[in-house]
Amino acid sequence: MRRGRRLGVDVGAVRVGVALSDPDGVLATPLVTLPRDLAHKTDLQAVARLVAEHDAVGVVVGLPRTLANREGPAAVAAREFATALADHLRSARMEVPVDLADERLTTVVATRQMRESGRKGRRQRAVVDQVAAVAILQGWLDAHRAPPT
């Protein structure tokens, strides 16, 4: 795995959660929650700005599959977002790969963690997408990290 920061992205119908890794690819941390903007694509522009700002070497977008390993409307939306983001980055002359990572149950787990930590309602919704993005990115980092020698 190439050294450098990566962004993890949890695409929802209303919000886009974003997480950031350290340069060594060991730990993912919450970064920001962006409003989803299908009409004007400002969410794509904001993620591209974050890629540039943090000198990211890759982006990992969560792909929500069902427990039966099928893809529904949310997975279609995530694939479309990943493709549009890759196109946007290329047009901005940023050669940054955009990968998809299985994210089964990350939002469910993130919501449970937020409830258990005492966050409820609006305070929870504002952060749950970032926590889901952390889970997506951390899972990808763990799967792609070179085994110790």
Task: Write out pLDDT tens, residues 88-138.
Answer: 999 999 999 999 998 875 666 666 665 666 666 566 566 788 888 999 999
- Indicate the domain borders of the chain: 6-144
Q: Which CATH number fits domain 6-144: 3.40.50.1010, 3.30.420.140, 3.40.50.2020, 3.90.850.10?
A: 3.30.420.140
Q: Is 55 within 8 Å of 4 (Cβ atoms)?
A: yes
Task: Write out pLDDT tens, residues 49-60.
Answer: 999 999 999 999
Query: Could you tell me how far CA 107 lies from the centroid of its own chain?
Result: 11
Task: Write out pLDDT tens, residues 133-149.
Answer: 999 999 999 989 866 66
Task: Write out pLDDT tens, residues 18-64.
Answer: 999 999 999 999 999 999 999 999 999 999 999 999 999 999 999 99
In the block, residue with structure tokens 């190439």: 2
Q: Which CA distances in Å does 25 have to 76, 122, 138?
A: 28, 31, 9
**Model confidence, pTM:** 0.87
Structure tokens at 34: 């962006």
